[in-house]
Amino acid sequence: MISKSQLKLITSLSKKKYRDQHGFFIAEGPKVIAEFIAEGLEMQLHFTSEIVKNETSVYHQITPQELKKISNLTNPNTSLAVFKFPKQKANENKGICLVLDGIQDPGNLGTIIRLCDWFGVSQLVCSTDTVDCFNPKVVQATMGSLARLSIQYGDIEQKLSTTMLPIYGGVLEGSSVYSEKIEEDCYLVVGNEGNGISEKIIGLLTHKITIPQYGASQKTESLNVATAAAILLSEAMRPTGK
């Protein structure tokens, strides 16, 4: 059974405004839910169409029809849970801090979060116009990675204008990423899918870096932002010297 107030809460959580207000987000499917539990996130509600032996204030058995009603997925899985936002981890000023300037696509953000987790980049700073990391599509794509990273939203201009660390940015005309040494402790900025890094942030970069284009045609306008971030992070982390 799902109560009216629970239904209202869950429906509201598809909007960022209400996620922020409650401090809750939704995860779907046993595997994704298990990963968030394993990361120590506090589960508020758990609805499943599988058999629940002991219903509690958290665990509720529902019908597949009820699940379909509350699910954000085209093909709902067997379960949906409401989690409390993870505790904000302290910013360390150590290692690479990846900065996202206006990333719009939830798929790109999800891919970038998994990428950070893979390369041990634990700090992600997003401009306020970057898509919300608790957007259901991002949550489903990143799974546990989302809970392992420190993700902050805020005024990136202010943040970058007060740091003493080098600030690298992926642009179309800069020095080759294959010859530029990326410092161990630094900021690395990637920009919006259509427009790249915004002008006010370009002015703050201490190093403009580019992924060289090969081949005869050189007509591709740009790389997808997640693949560009992959190559930049790989170059920053690769163990051998340039």
Question: In whole angstroms, how close is the CB of 118 to a copy of itself at the nearest point?
Answer: 5
If one asks whether residue 226 binds a copy of itself (CB under 8 A), the answer comes out as yes
How many Å separate Cα 39 from the centre of its chain? 16
Strands ordered across the beta sheet of 43-48: 24-28, 79-84, 43-48, 59-61
If one asks whether residue 20 binds a copy of itself (CB under 8 A), the answer comes out as no
Distance CA(147)–CA(39), nearest Å, equals 6
- Binding span for a copy of itself by CB under 8 A among 22-30, 47-55, 66-74, 115-123: 115-123
Residues 163-222 contacting a copy of itself, CB under 8 A? 178-179, 211, 213-217, 219-221
Nearer to a copy of itself, 20 or 180 (CB): 180
The residue within the footprint of a copy of itself, chosen from 33, 117, 189, 209 (CB under 8 A), is 117
| Closest C-alpha among 86, 79, 64 to residue 31 | 79
Nearest 5°: phi and psi at 187? -100, 140
Residues 143-162 contacting a copy of itself, CB under 8 A? 143-145, 148
For residues 59-71, one letter each, b for 16 or more C-beta atoms within 10 angstroms of the residue's C-beta and e for the rest, the string is bbbbeeebbeebb
Nearer to a copy of itself, 78 or 227 (CB): 227
If one asks whether residue 237 binds a copy of itself (CB under 8 A), the answer comes out as yes
The bridge status of strand 150-154 relative to strand 186-191 is unpaired
Let me know: does 61 contact 55? Beta carbons within 8 Å: yes
What is the total count of residues that contact a copy of itself (CB under 8 A)?
Answer: 40
| Closest C-alpha among 125, 132, 113, 116 to residue 24 | 132
Residue 135, helix vs strand vs coil: coil
- Binding span for a copy of itself by CB under 8 A among 48-56, 58-66, 83-91, 140-148: 140-148
| Closest C-alpha among 94, 99, 154 to residue 128 | 154
If one asks whether residue 79 binds a copy of itself (CB under 8 A), the answer comes out as no
The residue within the footprint of a copy of itself, chosen from 118, 154, 155, 198 (CB under 8 A), is 118
Q: What does the binding site for a copy of itself look like in residue numbers (CB under 8 A)? A: 107, 111, 114-115, 117-122, 143-145, 148, 178-179, 211, 213-217, 219-221, 223-224, 226-231, 234-235, 237-240, 242
